[in-house]
């Protein structure tokens, strides 16, 4: 064996040993080129080494995975959560099947989420997500639930929860598709599981103006989301000024939302963020929604039934109408005893709350329901707010965090199709607390307990869609306990 052959062989061995991490062949290219330049290797010997490296690389597990040339980076991730949930609900008005007014349920649930985020050349990027359960506001799959034929160890469906792509430069981001919620928000208005679908634009105003190293941040986010697609033509004629169900049936429901996010780093450890915003819908009927405590355009409330007696008027019913909401979330983050702490709040005020209460929920004081006069609007219906604190964060083994907040959710203050499905199980006209603790058993495994206790804001609601019809506010109280074990990978 000549000296040069020995060198080549030794080099191939050395690089091969290092190539266990797969992309070695490409990474070694610069080294091989340098050795050719220094005449340690001839060009042909270099090609032999390259060929051997690629050959060995293709035998590794990672080497067998082929990615599109257009991808510059790819991140695969996911999590599995096992949950025990107990909830107890005291209904305000007894349902036909439950005169005792009380409902209790315990469930074992599982949630699987799989995701892939990728970046492409030229500033493009995208992501896809898959998860158990179809509901927009929950990826939980109840184990062995007869309702979805999974009893007796049946298997579960997988749904697309994210599918989007976008483009970004230093200060502007444009995204289209079903994507993570782009807004700074809390679960008062937006359930954390919801990934809206549509177009989003984000502009970092300060960066656009050339300020890159500032203690201040100022961005604007705008979103145009397709909420429900309706058939534009062939719908029934507009029969009366209240006949929204007919009229809105021919209109697509779009959610338009915008938000200004301002932040200031007051000191090294203190940061203040405020994010005033506005959201509104084009008026549209929604026939079917897969959502906890959803509010859809269903069967009109009729007159003359035993449950619901109306002396005049008919149903005024369109789910996505009269929602014109000003939002104002924010937080102050700081260190407390060396722990990251956040005092946070959120406010939502529906400027069209009165119309929504009266026209859409049908609480217009007309008629009686179960012997009570049908309710009328109250100013409390229009406002939702939340205030709370979070101490600690969960990043590595041994980390812990606690959170507690109090909130009120007026009947017409937020869209019941978006609000958190865990607090009061998504019911409106509720107030109460959420408290939880989470602990990192390992860097990737978090155990946690969350407790929700909610009771109604107005006890005088009767009739309309509040306690009859879709009964989105037909509870006196709701308690929920969730015990979670979550593994991220």
Partner 1 sequence: MKNLIAIAAAFAATATLASAETLVIKGSDTLGAKLVPQLAEAFKAENPGTTFNIAAEGSSTGFAALIDQTANIGMSSRRAKPTEISAAQAKGLDLRPTIVAWDGIAIVISAKNPVKNLTAKQVEQIFTGEITDWSAVGGTPGKISIYTRNTASGTYADFKELAMSKKDYAGSAQKMAGNEQIVSEVAKNPAGIGYVGLAYTQAPGVKVAAVDGKVPNQADVRSKSYPYSRPTFYYTNGTPAGTAKAFVDFTLSAKGQKIAEQVGFVPVK
3-state secondary structure the chain: CCHHHHHHHHHHHHHHHHHHHCCHHHHCHHHHHHHHHCCCCCHHHHHHHHHHHHHHHCCCCHHHCCCCCCEEEEEEEEEEEEEEEEEEEEECCCECCECCCEEEEEEEEEEEEEEEEEEEHHHEEEEEEEEECCCCCCCCEECCCHHHCCCCCCCCCEEEEEEEEEEECCCEEEEEEECCCCCCCCCCCCCCCCCCEEEEEEEEHHHHCCCCCCCEEEEEEEEEEEEECCCCCCCCCCCCCCCHHHHHHHCCEEEEEEEEEEEEECCCCCEEEECCEEEEECCECCCCCCCCCCCCCCCCCCCCCCCEECCCCCCCCCCECCCEEEECCEEEEEEECCEEEEEEEEEEEECCHHHHHHHHCCCCCCCEECCEECCCCCHHHHEEEEEEEEEECCCCCCCEEEEEEEEEECCCCCCCCCCCCCHHHHCCCEEEEEEEEEEECCCCEEEEEEEEEEEECCCCCCCHHHHCCCCCCCEEEEEEEEEEEEEEC
Tell the smallest beta-carbon distance from residue 32 to partner 1 (Å).
12
Considering the complex, state which of residue 22 and residue 449 has its C-beta at the smaller distance from partner 1.
22
Tell the smallest beta-carbon distance from residue 355 to partner 1 (Å).
50
Tell the smallest beta-carbon distance from residue 48 to partner 1 (Å).
8
CA torsion sign for 418, 420, 425, 430 is: negative
Q: Interface mask (CB under 8 A) for partner 1, residues 301-320, using x and -? A: --------------------
Residues 329-388 that bind partner 1 (CB under 8 A): none
Round to whole Å and give the CA distance between 160 and 162: 6
Tell the smallest beta-carbon distance from residue 43 to partner 1 (Å).
6
Considering the complex, state which of residue 18 and residue 122 has its C-beta at the smaller distance from partner 1.
122
Residue of 122, 146, 215, 398 interacting with partner 1 (CB under 8 A): 122
Round to whole Å and give the CA distance between 429 and 375: 13
End-to-end CA distance of the chain: give it in Å, rounded: 48
Q: Interface mask (CB under 8 A) for partner 1, residues 19-38, using x and -? A: ------x-------------
Q: Interface mask (CB under 8 A) for partner 1, residues 43-72, using x and -? A: xx--xx-xx--xx-xxx---xx-x--xx--
Give how far the C-alpha of residue 457 lies from the chain's centroid of Cα atoms, to the nearest Å: 26
Considering the complex, state which of residue 20 and residue 94 has its C-beta at the smaller distance from partner 1.
20
Considering the complex, state which of residue 50 and residue 377 has its C-beta at the smaller distance from partner 1.
50
Tell the smallest beta-carbon distance from residue 3 to partner 1 (Å).
19
Considering the complex, state which of residue 61 and residue 312 has its C-beta at the smaller distance from partner 1.
61
Residues 203-232 that bind partner 1 (CB under 8 A): none
Tell the smallest beta-carbon distance from residue 123 to partner 1 (Å).
12
Q: Which stretch binds partner 1 (CB under 8 A): 39-47, 129-137, 218-226, 300-308?
A: 39-47
- The size of the interface with partner 1 (CB under 8 A), counted in residues, is 19
Q: Interface mask (CB under 8 A) for partner 1, residues 263-292, using x and -? A: ------------------------------
Tell the smallest beta-carbon distance from residue 168 to partner 1 (Å).
17
Considering the complex, state which of residue 59 and residue 97 has its C-beta at the smaller distance from partner 1.
59
Considering the complex, state which of residue 60 and residue 181 has its C-beta at the smaller distance from partner 1.
60
393 lies in the binding site for partner 1 (CB under 8 A): no
Q: Which stretch binds partner 1 (CB under 8 A): 40-48, 202-210, 327-335, 367-375?
A: 40-48
Residue of 1, 30, 96, 121 interacting with partner 1 (CB under 8 A): 121
Tell the smallest beta-carbon distance from residue 61 to partner 1 (Å).
12
Tell the smallest beta-carbon distance from residue 24 to partner 1 (Å).
12
Considering the complex, state which of residue 121 and residue 337 has its C-beta at the smaller distance from partner 1.
121
Tell the smallest beta-carbon distance from residue 173 to partner 1 (Å).
21
Task: Answer whether 252's CB lies under 8 Å from 311's CB.
Answer: no
Point out which residues bind partner 1 (CB under 8 A).
Answer: 25, 43-44, 47-48, 50-51, 54-55, 57-59, 63-64, 66, 69-70, 121-122
């Amino acid at each position: 064996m000549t000296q040069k052959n020995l060198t080549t062989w030794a080099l191939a061995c050395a690089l091969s040993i290092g190539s266990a991490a797969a992309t070695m062949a490409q990474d070694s290219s610069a080294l091989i080129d340098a050795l050719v330049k220094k005449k340690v290797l001839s060009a042909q010997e270099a090609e032999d080494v390259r060929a051997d490296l690629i050959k060995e690389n293709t035998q590794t597990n990672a080497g067998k995975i082929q990615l599109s040339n257009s991808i510059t980076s790819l991140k695969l991730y996911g999590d599995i959560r096992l949950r025990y949930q107990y909830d107890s609900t005291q209904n305000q008005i007894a349902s036909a099947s439950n005169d005792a007014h009380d409902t209790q349920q315990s469930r074992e649930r599982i949630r699987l989420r799989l995701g892939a985020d990728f970046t492409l050349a030229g500033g493009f990027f995208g992501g896809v997500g898959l998860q158990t359960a179809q509901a927009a506001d929950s990826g939980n799959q109840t184990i062995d639930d007869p309702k979805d034929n999974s009893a007796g160890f049946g298997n579960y469906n997988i749904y697309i929860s994210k599918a989007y792509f976008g483009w970004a430069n230093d200060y502007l981001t444009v995204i289209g598709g079903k994507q993570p919620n782009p807004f700074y928000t809390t679960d008062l208005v937006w359930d954390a599981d919801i990934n809206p679908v549509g177009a989003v634009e984000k502009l970092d105003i300060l960066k656009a103006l050339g300020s890159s190293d500032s203690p201040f941040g100022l961005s604007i986010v705008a979103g145009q989301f397709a909420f429900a697609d309706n058939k534009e033509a062939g719908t029934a004629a507009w029969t009366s000024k209240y006949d929204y169900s007919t009229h809105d049936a021919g209109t697509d429901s779009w959610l338009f939302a915008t938000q200004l996010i301002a932040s200031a780093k007051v000191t090294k450890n203190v940061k203040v963020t405020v994010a005033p915003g506005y959201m509104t819908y084009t008026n549209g009927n929604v026939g079917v929604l897969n959502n906890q405590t959803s509010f859809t355009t269903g069967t009109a409330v009729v007159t003359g039934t035993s449950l619901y007696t109306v002396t005049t008027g008919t149903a005024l019913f369109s789910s996505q109408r009269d929602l014109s909401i000003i939002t104002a979330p924010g937080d102050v983050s700081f260190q407390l005893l060396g722990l990251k702490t956040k005092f946070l709040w959120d406010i939502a005020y529906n400027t069209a709350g009165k119309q929504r209460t009266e026209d859409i929920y049908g609480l217009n004081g007309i008629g009686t329901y179960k012997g009570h006069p049908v309710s009328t609007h109250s100013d409390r219906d229009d406002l939702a707010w939340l205030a709370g604190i979070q101490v600690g964060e969960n990043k590595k083994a041994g980390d812990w965090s606690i959170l507690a907040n109090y909130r009120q959710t007026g009947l017409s203050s937020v869209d019941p199709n978006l609000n958190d499905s865990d607090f009061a199980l998504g019911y409106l006209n509720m107030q109460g607390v959420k408290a939880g603790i989470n602990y990192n058993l390992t860097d990737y495994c978090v155990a946690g307990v969350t407790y929700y206790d909610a009771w109604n804001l107005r006890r005088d609601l009767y009739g309309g869609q509040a306690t009859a019809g879709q009964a989105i506010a037909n509870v006196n109280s709701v308690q929920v306990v969730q015990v979670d074990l979550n593994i991220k990978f």
